[in-house]
A and B are shown apart, each in its own frame.
Chain A
Amino acid sequence: MSEITAEQVAHLANLARIDLSSAEIDRLTIELGQIVDSVAKVAEVATPDVPATSHPMPLTNVFRDDVVVPSLTVDQALSGAPDRAGDKFRVPAILDEE
């Protein structure tokens, strides 16, 4: 059995920036435990001699020529923002204190 605790889920939710309710944390603690127990079987065959694969097709770095190409206008880039101030994204306070 995995040892997922409610405190751990609350910590993960904080890291992931999701303001979960305590009911959600309780439910996720149980579900996460079940899922982790099930997927942990990958360790059975992941022996040290097996290399990891992060990408399905082998690719080397991909570059393009350093030339200016058409891109979004400022208005286009801001068109989906929930709030803006002139040509900038407007955000709530970055720091906790005033």
Chain B
Amino acid sequence: MTNLINQTAAALAGLLADGSVSSVDVTRAHLDHIDAVDPDVHAFLHVARDAALATAARVDARRAAGEKLGPLAGVPIAIKDVLATHDMPTTSGSKILEGWIPPYDATVVKRIRDADLIPLGKTNMDEFAMGSSTEHSAYGPTHNPWDLDRIPGGSGGGSAAAVAAFEAPLALGSDTGGSIRQPAAVTGSVGVKPTYGGVSRYGAIALASSLDQVGPVTRTVLDAALLHDVIGGHDPLDSTSLTDAWPSMTAAAQAGLKDGALKGVRVGVIKELNGAGFQAGVKQRFEETLALLTAAGAIVSEVSAPNFEYAVSAYYLILPAEASSNLARFDSVRFGIRVNPEDGPLTSERVMAATRDAGFGDEVKRRIILGTYALSAGYYDAYYGSAQKVRTLIQRDFAAAFDKVDLLVSPTAPTTAFKFGEKTEDPMAMYLNDITTIPANLAGIPGMSLPMGLAPEDGLPVGLQVMAPARADARLYTFGAAVEQLLEAHWGHTLLSQAPALANIEMFATEGGAV
């Protein structure tokens, strides 16, 4: 038995099912690894050690009693702090919710519990998911396991770093403008934003309700598919949840591993997401991946999406508008902190304003003020109304592209992981970093990021983004699994096996070897 923490979720599921290992062993190995590396990585805001071990022991006992369990039963998972958990604090990375324990579980959390996965804890994120670096977390940034001086992406940098640093085989994320895919790209992991409405948003603390979508964060495409099958499907508690009968994403991913899975697949390269502003090493790995795809029988062509140029602008009007409405619920009455003004009368209005000043960070204030402005009488048509029209144009661009090709590809992010502080002083520079991922959210279509190599100039991970038409999530998994297999055969190893060792890892690996 080698190191339990290096296994994929699929491999762990097999070892658990045939009795080679217990869930308690697997869970403890991950908790011990969190103890060893998380002081450096800071992927977790809360670790539920005792509860995780107790849950694992119950799953082991039920398995020993002969109960038939689900495919991921006993496998540990980390949960982004945007998701409500009835037994763990849920802060969404904000001071205003410090210590809040919700009285209910998000639907996706309930589903992973019902499927007997083992929640390890809650992962760090930009405050209310506003950011691309986790530098806007009220609890300090998460560090990229590839280089601790660099950002792990955002907003879900905690979930991505947790899987990339082998602290958890699986994690849950949420993606409003790239918060699952961009962290996956810069940490060398896999992340999927499902079709809007494919996964329930009930219990996900809302950022922008027409853009938010919960999805899997993993190290392999198959693991993402396994998790997608657990969390996906209609939820009557979310009125935007789709009632579709979904195919098995796991079967779709397995289909991608068969010979010839890429033969004849029409792949469109988006002209507008492959030009100026993209790092040389990102472009190089992207071109190499396209060449491998062509050699494997895929038909690669260029498609144009002329309105993508306006996507970031539309997004940074729609998102703040929706966020300023959603965040009005933080009123110092029903949940979260209450802060009294330093002087003057204690009226509800003044207490609310003092609480929101003390509880919200700079980026949240910036976006609430921007959203309030965009929705103001006299400006509404020019800004919010125009942004909604751009949304239509972007959907039309996608529709025209998917008339010609089966899937669209681009680099997931224009650059590799940047250093802390590089973009915090210039909000627009941070916003423009999301140009590749935002269009999918505006159109509601599914997107995936998977590793496509290391940039030669800095040795840091580069991600390939794949997008499919709405409801065609299964197509992403088939293609993604095929590309992952193709690239790993080309490299002769997985990308994450090349990540530098973190502090104390070697000491731990020795212990792990004795399991």
Q: Tell me the A residues contacting B by CB distance below 8 Å.
A: 4, 8-9, 12-21, 24, 28, 31-32, 34-36, 38-47, 50-57, 59, 62, 64, 72, 76-77, 79-83, 89, 91-96
Contact = CB atoms under 8 A, between A and B. Distances in A.
Contacts of B316: 35, 38-39
12 contacts: A32-B369, A36-B373, A39-B314, A39-B383, A39-B387, A45-B390, A46-B386, A57-B444, A83-B338, A91-B348, A93-B347, A94-B348
B332 interface: yes
Nearest to B103: A76
Given A38-B313, A51-B389, A12 B369 contact: yes
B491 interface: no
| Chain A interface mostly | loop
A44 B291 CA distance: 37
B442 A19 contact: no
B356 A72 contact: no
Q: Would you list the 6 A-B pairs with minimal beta carbon distance, nearest first?
A: A56-B444, A46-B386, A80-B335, A52-B388, A82-B338, A76-B103
A42 B373 contact: no
Nearest to A65: B236
Contacts of B196: 56-57
Interface in B401-442: 427-428, 431, 441-442
B373 A12 contact: yes
A28 B371 CA distance: 13
Contacts of B370: 32, 35-36
Given A12-B372, A39-B313, 17 more contacts: A15-B376, A31-B427, A34-B428, A38-B428, A39-B383, A39-B387, A41-B313, A42-B317, A46-B390, A51-B389, A53-B395, A55-B240, A56-B470, A59-B239, A62-B239, A80-B334, A91-B348
Contacts of B388: 52-54
Contacts, number: 183
A42 B365 contact: no
A59 B240 contact: yes
A63 to B, nearest CB: 9
A14 B313 CA distance: 25
B392 interface: yes
Nearest to A71: B104
B366 A31 contact: yes
Contacts of A77: 103
Contacts of A35: 316, 366, 370, 427-428, 431
Given A42-B386, A42-B387, A96 B313 contact: no
Contacts of A62: 239-240
A77 B412 CA distance: 41
B324 A89 contact: no
B100 interface: yes
Contact of A93 (B195, B336, B345, B369): B345
Nearest to B341: A19
B101 interface: yes
A67 B143 CA distance: 48
